[in-house]
Structure 1
């Protein structure tokens, strides 16, 4: 069974803040930041290019989502002492590449702000918290396993594509875990992979058009077309994908996440990011998964240090986005993917064990949730994690598994 971490352990029971910053939390926070500042940043820049944004508008977009995402990380890590990380919805940035070709950017900015207000209203209503407490744990864990399994397969693909960099980094990870238990395996894998990339000349200056320029903010305009094309899908992604993943991951690690506070923070982040010209800044599922994993240390009370490191690096990246992007993108993609996949091993193992434990409830519903979350299924602009939860619960209800799950909870 996972450890139980109270939401507020009380000042007397908390380790001192400085204890949260050790080699494991530092290395894990850096891994989470590298993951968030590479591929996802490219997706945002592609969307900006599709919308024909100026360099100054693009930098303002990056500034808003990374600085606010970092502040969300710092708030939850320092206020709740939980490894909750903020960033933005990556699928949301992807769908904007198509939307911005048809919708003027000032109307898109208005839609960003409207999405933040919708998420904020859901947070204050308390509906998300009640829903999270009602969902069967096996189905939530199966959704998490399915949604994050792409990191594991991505690591394998990276080793196949670049065995001398990604493969040797993976080998260093497992050897460190076997021979040097006091050293974070993720840190060693990153250092070894970087050394191999240097040796083979795979660190190339990225050809990115952004320069260090002043921010250019866009005056919002509001239209129903932009609301339905952008606001509604973004709100669904923030609630049904990012927040749902983060909540499930934290539950898998034994934490009791402040669900309503997480939703409210995602709404405020979305509102403020929209004022900067960026889409929702919110709780981040993948980064929370990395920072809350066992790679951040054996003591779950200290893992929030990884989110602090992640948050600080995100803020710095947002402040110097126009200057930092070319250097971050110089890292081999294979190295970033294999490190992220290795960091997810503990999270995935825990999720599978809780979803499919022997004689556990909702087994068929959990299997449906797993397969849907692993697929590329989307409907109404909403990605697979949301539908995985919905279809998993519907299957368990149809088969009578929900009643058995409630009886087990009552007996426990």
Structure 2
């Protein structure tokens, strides 16, 4: 048995692409692109800012995740004729903002590359199932929820700090989609927040002076602590959250899932994107879900939605500097407020995955609390310790849940 599953091939995928390129596949692909290029981009920009990175650093980070994530999805979707979409881990971006504070961008690149190597090795050995038995999804998602909860509370603090602009964005997030059914909530919040900021004289970006900043290859700098606090948690998220979610969606829709290929190429994507200081280009759960949905048309043609998504993602990555400059002109708090709103469903999903099954509940709660604390021990960040302490607590208190997973 070959490690990488065989698909119909590029010739077949490209030959059938024109007949499936229609309103349904194009709209599904563009909707997933709008989703991925609004809130998640704001989350990544906020994470880069929290880590203390420069505009040039942020530009190459955005380039790496969108260009290589988009290409990864477009290539795999074409080869397998399955709606596999590539992007990056949104929770991973959030965690990096906390874990990388005080470290250089070159050290961050090293941590990202190592995360990709971990995913690649596990994909090549086929050990993903065994790893996840000892690192249950419930504990992984509890760690994510705890470490990212500051984004949720940030909605409140930024609205109190700037009630006019942030308050308008929050109201738009909840109200506009009820009036305009197909308008994404984060897009509504972004537009209304910008309009109110501009009208009140709080938008400061000089759009006429925007200039293109080219991405660059980053020389990685070794740092052992970041392997524990960044690389391992990020690899766990890529495999246990993003890939697992995408595989589950595809199985539900009746596709033959190339699980090994999705894991291996997510590792390769992480290594390549890491060379540009980007945290991991991998198979994306939410974007795959959008492109694989019935709204994307007949089952056999939905892969084209992922191709459209991948190409438009890559184009966005090339011109990402303009989006970053635009966001940089927002008044104090608006970008963080929008990032929190964009993370709302991710946080809700993380909490649901952590506690809805009833398994590993004590370990998940311990992981949630450690992640929420933001504690650093031995210069290693809270994400790693949340995973370690969560697993240890479950081994002590609920070992039966590990046995049930066998």
Cα separation, 1, equivalents of 2:346 and 2:303 = 15
Cα separation, 1, equivalents of 2:42 and 2:49 = 11
The 5 A counterparts of 1:294-373 are 312=311, 315-320=314-319, 325-332=324-331, 334-357=333-356, 360-373=358-371
Cα separation, 1, equivalents of 2:58 and 2:190 = 29
CA contact (8 A) 1:85 1:307 kept: no
1:142: how far off? 2.4
Cα separation, 1, equivalents of 2:181 and 2:313 = 29
1:64: how far off? 4.2
TM-score by length of 1: 0.67
Which residue of structure 2 lines up, in the alignment, with residue 152 of structure 1?
152
Cα separation, 2, equivalents of 1:33 and 1:66 = 11
| 1:34 aligned to which of 29, 38, 41 | 41
Cα separation, 2, equivalents of 1:343 and 1:394 = 32
Cα separation, 2, equivalents of 1:165 and 1:329 = 15
Counterpart check, 1:403 vs 2:400: yes
State the Cα RMSD in Å. 4.8
1:154: how far off? 1.9
1:189: how far off? 2.2
Q: What is the DSSP-based 3-state SS (H/G/I as helix, E as strand, rest coil) of the residue aligned with 2:202?
A: coil
After superposition, the C-alpha distances for 1:257-298 in whole angstroms (9 at most, x for unaligned) are: 97754553343234334555x3554349xxx577579xx699
| 1:85 aligned to which of 77, 87, 90 | 87
Structure 1 residues 152, 108: CA separation in 2 closer, same or farther (over 3 Å shift)? closer
TM-score by length of 2: 0.68
CA contact (8 A) 2:89 2:242 kept: no
Q: What is the DSSP-based 3-state SS (H/G/I as helix, E as strand, rest coil) of the residue aligned with 1:38?
A: helix
CA contact (8 A) 1:122 1:128 kept: yes
After superposition, the C-alpha distances for 1:108-163 in whole angstroms (9 at most, x for unaligned) are: 97887666545432331233343125544433442333233232112222212221
Cα separation, 2, equivalents of 1:298 and 1:270 = 23
Matched pairs, number: 372
- Which of 304-313 and 62-71 deviates more? 304-313
1:17: how far off? 6.7
CA contact (8 A) 2:354 2:364 kept: yes
- Which of 194-203 and 112-121 deviates more? 112-121
After superposition, the C-alpha distances for 1:60-119 in whole angstroms (9 at most, x for unaligned) are: 676445422433454567765356522796465877775559xxx6x9978876665454
Cα separation, 2, equivalents of 1:329 and 1:348 = 25
CA contact (8 A) 2:112 2:231 kept: no
Which residue of structure 2 lines up, in the alignment, with residue 386 of structure 1?
384
The 5 A counterparts of 1:2-401 are 18=22, 19=24, 21-22=27-28, 25=32, 27-36=34-43, 38-42=45-49, 46-47=52-53, 63-75=63-75, 80-81=82-83, 85-86=87-88, 90=93, 98=102, 100=104, 116-133=116-133, 135-205=135-205, 211-212=211-212, 226=222, 228=224, 235-240=231-236, 243-246=239-242, 261=261, 263-273=263-273, 278=277, 280-283=279-282, 312=311, 315-320=314-319, 325-332=324-331, 334-357=333-356, 360-379=358-377, 382-399=380-397, 401=398
Q: What is the DSSP-based 3-state SS (H/G/I as helix, E as strand, rest coil) of the residue aligned with 2:281?
A: strand
Structure 1, gaps ≥5 residues long: 1-7, 50-54
Cα separation, 2, equivalents of 1:385 and 1:162 = 31
Cα separation, 1, equivalents of 2:244 and 2:76 = 16
Structure 1 residues 143, 42: CA separation in 2 closer, same or farther (over 3 Å shift)? closer
